[in-house]
């Protein structure tokens, strides 16, 4: 016998009304309560009958957003932008965190939560071109980021190479000649690290500056701690540098910390620029220059594309690839000396 909503309520220790509110996307529910209900749904393999909410419309009014980790400021702010804009077009957002884990990314595509939503906005980090079959799903799907190409679905991304080249060129234009890049991923073929590192290299070549391998610093996870460690390691190795391009703002904030702990003055001794232009960049000390990659445009475009598919389920729409615009947000950390 299949599980009922009453079974889910008993397992979660909540009322049937609360289960109904979670299933139907009611926004004012404690996150802890929502998680208990969703866990009970998973444990009991409860299959939501869409008619519970939508006998007339055939829709739940809820969409999914799956991102690697909300502890990274970029993804937290992206989620905020998606939620805020989705609300204006009548949609509620169910957030999923995949932890950059391959199995959890596959679960985001094929797991029980897809029974609760009308479509999914998905930012994968571990799935790639070889996993294109995973994206052949029977519900509306919009991909974010660089990890998947040639999937038969809409894809919204950013100008990683061009933006990274612009960031590096700015450092050169304010007099820097020994520019380190923090966050490289050796051997990566498709991904933000590879694309942004390529933009860095293009800027060096265009300005006739040599490429010094000692200035290209690896960082596995793009966290504050890895950004700081890259700087400590570079100083310990005796590598001279007068600027740092960190491939995201979390690492850039770690870079600022490590430089100051090491007695370096910013921007007099070392200039620093990041990528993402998160809110924290404006309040760091000194205020961090960064690339604004079009986060609001990405969020709104993804919601609009997904909603178009949801509203027109029988219409054949050719997959679209949208590339957001970027700009440099220049602050104290790269001020000319």
Could you state, in order of their start, the residue ranges of all structural domains in the chain?
1-58, 61-158+294-327, 160-292
Instruction: Summarize pLDDT for 47-106 with one digit per residue, the tens.
Output: 665 444 454 456 788 999 999 999 899 999 999 999 999 999 999 999 999 988 899 999
pLDDT above 70 (res 319): yes
61-158+294-327 and 160-292 share one CATH topology? yes
pLDDT value of residue 56 = 44
pLDDT value of residue 317 = 82
Using CA atoms, how far apart are residues 67 and 81, in angstroms rounded to an integer? Answer: 13
Higher pLDDT, 41 or 277: 277
CATH homologous superfamily of 61-158+294-327: Response regulator (3.40.50.2300)
- Mean of the per-residue pLDDT values of the chain: 90
CATH 1.10.260.40 fits 1-58, yes or no: yes
What is the percent of the chain where pLDDT is above 90? 66
pLDDT average, residue stretch 172-191? 92
Residues 6+ apart with CB under 8 A from 192: 145, 146, 160, 247, 248
Cα dihedral 45, 28, 81, 89 sign: positive
Least Cα distance to 192 among 168, 214, 161 occurs for 161
Question: Which residue in this structure is represented by tokens 């009991």?
Answer: 44
What is the percent of the chain where pLDDT is above 70? 94
- Out of 24-28, 33-37, 100-104, 216-220, least confident range: 24-28
Instruction: Summarize pLDDT for 190-238 with one digit per residue, the tens.
Output: 789 999 999 999 999 999 999 999 999 999 889 999 999 999 999 999 9
pLDDT value of residue 26 = 63
**3-class state of residue 213 by DSSP:** helix
pLDDT value of residue 182 = 98
pLDDT above 60 (res 331): yes
- Do the beta carbons of residue 92 and residue 27 sit within 8 Å? yes
Using CA atoms, how far apart are residues 321 and 99, in angstroms rounded to an integer? Answer: 25
pLDDT value of residue 1 = 61
Using CA atoms, how far apart are residues 268 and 280, in angstroms rounded to an integer? Answer: 22
pLDDT average, residue stretch 27-41? 82
pLDDT value of residue 58 = 60
At the topology level, CATH places domain 160-292 in: Rossmann fold (3.40.50)
- Do the beta carbons of residue 258 and residue 195 sit within 8 Å? no
Q: How confident is the model at residue 27 (pLDDT cuts 50, 70, 90)?
A: low
Instruction: Summarize pLDDT for 126-178 with one digit per residue, the tens.
Output: 888 888 889 989 899 999 998 777 788 999 999 999 999 999 999 999 999 99
- DSSP at 131: G
């Amino acid at each position: 016998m299949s599980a009922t909503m009453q079974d889910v309520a008993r397992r979660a220790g909540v009322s049937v009304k609360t289960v109904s509110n979670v299933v139907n996307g009611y926004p004012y529910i404690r996150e802890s309560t929502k998680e208990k209900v969703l866990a009970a749904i998973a444990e009991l393999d409860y299959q939501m009958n869409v008619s519970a909410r939508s006998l007339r419309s055939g829709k739940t009014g809820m969409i999914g957003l799956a991102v690697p980790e909300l502890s990274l400021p970029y993804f937290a702010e992206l989620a905020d932008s998606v939620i805020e804009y989705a609300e204006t077009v009548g949609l509620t957002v169910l957030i999923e965190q995949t932890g950059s884990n391959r199995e959890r990314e596959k679960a985001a595509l094929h797991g029980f939560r897809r029974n609760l939503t009308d479509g999914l906005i998905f930012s994968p980090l571990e799935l790639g071109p070889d996993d294109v079959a995973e994206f052949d799903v029977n519900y509306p799907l919009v991909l974010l980021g660089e990890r998947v190409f040639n999937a038969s679905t809409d894809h919204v991304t950013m100008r990683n190479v061009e933006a990274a080249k612009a960031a590096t060129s700015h450092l050169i234009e304010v007099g820097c000649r020994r520019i380190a890049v923090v966050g490289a991923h050796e051997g990566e073929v498709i991904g933000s690290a590879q694309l942004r590192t390529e933009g860095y290299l293009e800027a060096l070549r265009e300005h006739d500056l040599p490429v010094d391998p000692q200035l290209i610093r690896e960082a596995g996870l793009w966290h504050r701690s890895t950004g700081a460690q890259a700087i400590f390691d570079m100083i310990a190795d005796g590598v001279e540098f007068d600027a740092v391009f960190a491939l995201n703002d979390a690492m850039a904030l770690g870079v600022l910390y490590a430089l100051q702990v090491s007695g370096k003055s910013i921007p007099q001794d070392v200039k620093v620029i990041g990528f993402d232009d998160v809110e924290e960049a404006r309040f760091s000390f000194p205020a961090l220059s960064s690339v604004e990659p079009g986060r609001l445009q990405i969020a709104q475009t993804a919601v609009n594309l997904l909603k178009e598919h949801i509203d027109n389920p029988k219409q054949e729409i050719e997959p679209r690839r949208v590339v957001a615009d970027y700009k440099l947000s220049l602050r104290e950390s790269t001020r000319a000396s």
